[in-house]
Amino acid sequence: MGRTHCSYILDRLYNYNGSGKPDPSMSATLLESLRKLCPPRKKGQPDPLVYLNPESGSHYNFTESYYRRILSNEAVLGVDQQLRNGDDTKQITEEFAVGFEDFRKSFAASMYHMGNIKVLTGNQGEIRKNCRYTNK
């Protein structure tokens, strides 16, 4: 697991969808703790980092506790919290929250399938200079 900069979650903490309020899907406990770590920023202020799975023993561990946090509305990133919203993704999240062996098997299968994707070469594709945008 890793960390994210506060700037990527400030909207969830203070102005979700322009409402001037926090993300209603976020637990009050998580909201309080993240607001302490991520106060509203002014230009030029530092952009602190927060852990994505803060109470997992070692902050970098990726275990079933990550999925339990999602089910408890305690995902740091909004995109992760959305795993609880879909029928299929909620079922998978519940499965991974119980035990991590299913996750390990699914991850291994995914890596195998990704390894079989044919790589684009020559002018068939592009190597992006910034992953967020296609090259001009």
Domains and CATH numbers, the chain: 3-124 (1.10.420.10)
pLDDT at 123: 83
| Rounded Cα–Cα distance for residues 76 and 9 (Å) | 7
Q: What percent of the chain has pLDDT over 90?
A: 61
In the three-class reduction of DSSP (H, G, I as helix; E, B as strand; rest coil), residue 77 is classed as coil
The mean per-residue pLDDT over the stretch 93-113 comes to 92
Residue 33 pLDDT > 70: yes
Residue 79 pLDDT > 80: yes
pLDDT at 41: 86
Phi-psi sector, 56: left (phi>0), alpha (psi -120 to 50), beta: alpha
In the three-class reduction of DSSP (H, G, I as helix; E, B as strand; rest coil), residue 19 is classed as coil
pLDDT at 44: 86
**Radius of gyration, CA atoms only, the chain:** 18
Q: What is the pLDDT of residues 2-18, one digit of tens each?
A: 889 999 999 999 999 99
